[in-house]
Amino acid sequence: MPAGQIVKAISGFYYVRTPEGEEIQCRARGVFKFKKKKLTPLVGDNVEFEMTGLGEGVVTSVQPRQTELLRPPIANVEQAVVVCSLREPDFQQMPVDRFLVHGEREGLTIVICLTKRDLVSDDREVEQIRAIYEPAGYPVLATSIHTQVGLDQLKEHLNGRVSVLAGQSGVGKSSLLNRLLPGYQLQTGTVSQKLGRGRHTTRQVELLPLPSGGQVADTPGFSQLSFQGFEPGELSDYFPEFAEHAACCRFRGCLHGNEPGCEVREAVERQEIHQERYHNYLQFLDEIKQQQRRY
């Protein structure tokens, strides 16, 4: 039976690319079977399909996934490039930390990509952001599509990997891809001056081949990520800078809130863990607890 990879999904159609490079427009056969298994085909899935006509077919099975993100909805990526702008809109740490938690939960390699470096007069803001995330093990790249700064570094991180670009609307994901993918001209948008955030220009997830090897997915911008299905005790595992300190907490199962002898909290007080990262951890923890009470 023919096999391939879903590279795009639009309005119930799945576009499957075969190893020979042919793209087959498919629907999912036995859609109720997929629903019963709570399995919806995603971009990035490796599938089997049957031909039903010229360039058309039906997806008959989905192979086991290595990774899965629900927002953006994509499977089998190895790396997430979290894209955030320095200006227009201004850098916001909260949505970055939210996505980092989701990426860590899936075991993805994560790179933080700052865009619109040309709109910032000096390096101080970039260095402040690096001081937050590099101690947690995240590479931080500062890029500009106008001056070309940082683009070669980004290409090095993308080469040979299956990556997803993820971030809020208006931060410059599609503009970056237009620079990285000669021949592609993805639609780009402007930032609303009234709302201070970008307008959605990418409408669906699409997995694109890179000239030097690997694949990269452009995705719609997101405004919020929830923690539905998370347990309070797992959250600290997704803040890598907590690990060494958490092992020294007085009580097993410490949630690093008000518990006595919490080494994580003491590390925050010693400025060994960034205060804002810890503040966001506590907010996420409260959200998880609130969700559990509701359900």
User: What is the spatial distance between Cα 168 and Cα 166, in angstroms, rounded to a whole number?
Assistant: 7
Annotated binding site for Zn(2+): 249, 254, 256, 262
E-state strands within the chain: 3-10, 13-17, 23-28, 46-53, 56-62, 68-70, 73-75, 79-85, 109-115, 140-142, 162-166, 206-209, 215-218
Give CA–CA dist 271/33, Å, rounded: 52
Amino acid at 159: N
- CA 87-98-81 angle, to 5 degrees, is 65
Rounded to whole angstroms, how far apart are CA atoms 196 and 190? 10
Annotated binding-site residues read: 115-118, 167-175, 249, 254, 256, 262
Whats the size of the chain, residue-wise? 295
Annotated binding site for GTP: 115-118, 167-175
16 DSSP β-pair partners:
6, 24
- E-strand stretches of 39-191: 46-53, 56-62, 68-70, 73-75, 79-85, 109-115, 140-142, 162-166
Q: Is 16 helix (H, G, I), strand (E, B) or coil?
A: strand
